[in-house]
Every structure is written in C-alpha cells, then in structure tokens.
Amino acid sequence: MTDRLALTVVTGDPTPPYEQLRRQLVELIRYRALAPGDRLPPVRQLAADLGLAAGTVARTYRELEVAGLVTSRRGGGTRVAAVPPAGPGPDEMLRHHAAAFVRETRQLGVEDSQIISAVARALEA
C-alpha cells in the first residue's frame, strides 16, 4: 500500500518526520486519494518502508485518530474514518499554508522583509 500512497519523508527538512507524514496523510484523506474504510499500512511496515522508527509512525497515526481522520482497532489495523471531518475551506487552507511558510522560512533564518519579497515575486510570476 505504501507504493500507492507515495509517502516520503525528507530528512533535511526541519519539520519533524511524524509531522511530514501526518500532513501527507491528511491531504490524501481530505482529497479522497484515501477513501473511507481504506486501510493504512501497519505501523511497522510503513516505518520500515520509510526508514523511520515505529514510534514515529505510531505518533502520526495517533494524531490522525485524535483529529477524527482514522480509526484504529487492535487486530483490525488503522482505517480511514467512515465520515472524515469536513475539510477546511480555501481561506483556512490559505492561512494554514501561509503560516507554515512563514514558520519554516523563519526557522531558516530568513527575515520578514525577505519573506515578503519572495511572496511578491512569486505572485508576479
């Protein structure tokens, strides 16, 4: 199943691996690439496939379960929730992505004026 999911973790990214994985799975669920009832790979399998610790994948799955996106049952695996919560609207998605961009660029030591310039150049392109 991990081939179908095409999940990746970038080791040089300052974002923790569990968060990278969580974000990708949220997107796959929200945009229905993973349908309600679809089974996610077992924790150990996904961890081995991605070169991560099993605890990292388990944390990702726990956070998805708390968000109501997946359900887990002992012996039944982790599945996409039957009725995932409604996805965020365009304004909320824009705020989320903008906040993530600002946070990540600040972690790289980029000044606010450089961030604003980069966004302005991207809008012009």
pLDDT at 88: 67
Residue carrying structure tokens 């990292």: 56
Task: Provide the β-strand partners of residue 122.
Answer: none
| pTM beyond 0.75 | no
Domains of the chain, earliest start first: 2-80 (1.10.10.10), 90-124 (no CATH)
CB 7 within 8 A of CB 21: yes
> How confident is the model over 22-68, as pLDDT tens digits?
999 999 998 888 999 999 999 999 999 999 999 999 999 999 999 99
DSSP one-letter string for 16-77: -HHHHHHHHHHHHHHTTSS-TTPBPPPHHHHHHHHT--HHHHHHHHHHHHHTTSEEEETTTE
